Amino acid sequence: MRPTRRQFMGAAGGAMMAGSGMELLAKLGSVSAAEADLPPSLVRLGDDIEPTVRLIEETPRERVLEEVASRIRSGLSYRQVLAALLLAGVRDVQPRPQVGFKFHAVLVINSAHLASLNSPDSDRWLPILWAIDRFKSAQAETEHTSGWRMSQVNEGKVPHASKAREAFVAAMDAWDEQAADVAAAALARSASRDECFELFARYGCRDFRDIGHKAIFVANSFRTLGAIGWQHAEPVLRSLAYALLKYDGANPAKSDDPADRPGRRNAELLATIRPDWEDGKPSSQATAHLISTFRSGSADDCPSAVVQAINDGVSVNSVWDAILAASGELLMRKTNILTLHSVTSSNALRFAFKTAATPATRLMLLLQNAAFLPLFRQAVGKMGDVQVDRFEPEPPDQKQSVDDIFATATHDRMGAARKSLAYLNQGESPEELIRTARRLVFLKGTDAHDYKFSSAVLEDYYHLSPDWRNRYLASSLFYLPSSGAPDTPLLRRMREALAPPA
């Protein structure tokens, strides 16, 4: 039986790199770097990780990959590099004015980690070094535009552990940044990872601002914390609370912004769902019907259709088949930054659904995802008419190959999708296609979305039922890197940095 994501990430901290020969998750070692004095206003990190964070922060972009690679050869562990990268990101990159753009340097870290986790030894460090370079770009942009850095928490206002949850809920409901900041610090110090995830997941899906990036940040930050250790949680949760409270205009607690309406309506819909909703039966027909609804329905229609399907006895897994397939269809109908985020936000919300514990939170995540799909569609405007459940594969008499699929993607995305669907339907290895896609990201990827998108779709392929997974993976050929794209200019530098000294 396939392990749950919670089980997987719990085990990943100790075993995911076993046998690689690189001991990437070995016990944290000492770092021979003198820690310079920090400004008293700046948030201070743990003594074990601060020197490595400072190494990444203070080394110029044109030398940082070489310096980090040198420390790796001297014994710096994978976990310590990953932790330092995340902590440097939340300390130096402001998740405003949008939870996106330059903040992708933080959002992409878990995607780079997943890519590393699923890579051959020869490529293991490439995604992490790429993410370090991306951080240096975002750090410079933040310094230029605002000079923001995360400050020390106001210790005099941190609530007692017994009041932490209550204070956090009150602050988030009131959209009160200062109160949420100290409450997030109190939660990190007193609550478990699971308790914190339950709260942040609910607020991460609360509204459609920033096209799903809030939910993505929740999922990716907790997943990375699962790999590096909960002892690093406090600055991450503070950054996360700050990001989730981003809004424009009037305080949402005192207004009726369209971005908040689906969440308020879906909170009411929860009471109409049958108590035994987890006992539904799979139905490919119901999945197809929901996809049709997502294709044209409103942000009110789609969650209502989901509730109706569940109350009719349909499995929530079939609902997720519809959501993921519909997100892939949006990408096929018009490939752009908005439809890409329909895929990556659905991946994040599905992870949150599987990880959260309470039925109310899990169902809210499901209904919000159903509401977000038509909001993406409406934001895009005019689109093509391709349908994920109806586009035809290449004729079965034509033998397909992975090399041909990614070569075709260079000039014909629909042709590549049709060839990949034929390849998968013929019973060929999806793992070979997935391995090739990942490697092309390492070789060709130049943008955070290359990593975010590929990690999302290549993971979710295994979460769809057999009736739908091939079409979903085929839809990803509309964005995955093609073999004809040029190699990233950073590739040679990364390989030279990692090469043993002559």
Cα 136 from Cα 61, distance rounded (Å): 6
**Cα(327)–Cα(475) distance, rounded to whole angstroms?**
9
Res 28 pLDDT > 70: no
Task: Dump pLDDT digits (tens) for 466-494.
Answer: 999 999 999 999 999 999 999 998 999 99
Residue 325 pLDDT > 80:
yes
Q: Contact 279/377 with Cβ under 8 angstroms? A: no
Q: For residues 116 and 452, give the distance between their C-alpha atoms in angstroms, rounded to a whole number.
A: 13
Residue 152 per-residue DSSP state: P
Confirm if 131 and 494 have CB atoms less than 8 A apart. no
For range 165-173, the mean pLDDT: 98
Residue 493 class from Cβ within 10 Å (0-12 exposed, 13-18 middle, 19+ buried)?
middle
Average pLDDT for the chain: 91
CA of residue 207 relative to chain centroid, distance: 17
Q: How many Cβ atoms are within 10 Å of 1's Cβ, its own excluded?
A: 3
Tens of pLDDT, residue by residue over 74-133, are 999 999 999 999 999 999 999 998 887 899 999 999 999 999 998 888 889 999 999 999
Euclidean distance between CA atoms 423 and 400, whole angstroms: 5
The whole-number pLDDT of residue 26 equals 35
Residue with tokens 């779709």: 457
SS3 of 36, please? coil
- Report the pLDDT value the prediction gives residue 38, as an integer from 0 to 100: 57
Per-residue confidence band for 438, with pLDDT thresholds at 50, 70 and 90: very high
Q: How confident is the model at residue 73 (pLDDT cuts 50, 70, 90)?
A: very high
Q: Please state, for a pLDDT cut of 70, what percent of the chain lies above it.
A: 92
pLDDT attached to residue 147: 95
Mean pLDDT of 52-74: 96
Two tokens, residue 471: 């079409």
**Structure token digits, residue 336:** 């752009």
Percent of the chain scored above 90 by pLDDT? 86
Q: What is the mean pLDDT of residues 299-319?
A: 98
pLDDT of residue 100: 78
